[in-house]
Amino acid sequence: MQLPDMDKPEAAAREVRLVYADGSARTVYVTETEEPFPEGRLIVSRTDLQGIITNANDAFVEMSGWAREDLIGAPQNILRHPDIPKVTFKGLWDDLAAGKKWHGYLKNLRKDGSFYWVYATAVPNVRNGQVVGYTSVRRKPSRTRIAEVIPVYAQLLAEENAAP
């Protein structure tokens, strides 16, 4: 599914052309505004095997900035922030495809271009021995760990952008 380009926000924003693994592309505008993680909550969503969102809890909807009806049926990468290197998502999908649990720190993009950090865990949904989809749960992250991953992600991103 092709995600539409973002509307350019009135606030100062960086324009980035995101190209996804399936070859589709989308222009996003990112700001430096961080939305705090909601205290005590978990941000939960489920996708089908193609990464299409099938279920989202209220915290997911609220933090995304999108309406629920916009999210259900949209690809999970509607949340993808250009500051997270592609290799991170490749690792996520490779682990899930291998039937493994994946953990990682992610900066997620909101509809208005702002962002929020999470500690995400994704697991395959195994029913009668078959993987039928994936559940992703995000919780409030440690700021210490985020401070550690920011330069790592920046380095990986620089390497990706420098690659021919």
Partner 1 sequence: MTLNFLIAPDFAPENFAGWHMLNTTLQRRSGIGLHLLTPATAREQNELVESGQADLIYANPFDAVSMIRTHGYIPFARPAHHYDEMVIATGAASEFSRVEDLKPGCRIALTENKDVRLIGLRLLEPADLTEASISWVPVDSYQAAARMAIKGEVDAAFFLASSHASFTRMTRSQLRVLVESAISNIYHVVLAHPRVAGDLPGISEALLGVQAQPGDGDALEALGLPGGFESMTQEDAEFMIDLMDTLLD
Q: In angstroms, what is the minimal distance from the CB of 53 to partner 1? A: 15
Give the dihedral sign, CA 2/105/32/72: positive
Residue 45 structure tokens: 């969503």
Nearer to partner 1, 144 or 161 (CB): 144
Shortest Cβ distance from residue 125 to partner 1 (Å)? 6
Instruction: Indicate the residue type of 80.
Output: R
Q: What's the CA gap between 110 and 116, in Å, rounded?
A: 8
> Is the Cβ of residue 19 or residue 97 nearer to partner 1 in the bound state?
97
The site for partner 1 (CB under 8 A) is made up of 38-42, 44, 46, 57-58, 101, 103, 119, 121-123, 125, 127, 135-137, 139-145
Closest CA to 73 of 2, 151, 161: 2
By C-beta, is 72 or 137 nearer to partner 1?
A: 137
> For residue 97, what are the CA distances in angstroms to 17, 77, 164?
27, 17, 27
In the complex, least distance from residue 58 CB atom to partner 1, rounded to whole angstroms:
8
Q: Which is nearer to partner 1, 27 or 125 (CB)?
A: 125
Closest to partner 1 by CB, 72 vs 157, is 72
Alpha-carbon span 139 to 119, nearest angstrom:
5
* Smallest separation, CB 137 to partner 1 (Å): 4
Q: Do 27 and 17 touch, CB atoms closer than 8 A?
A: yes
Q: How far is the CB of 134 from partner 1 (least distance, A)?
A: 9
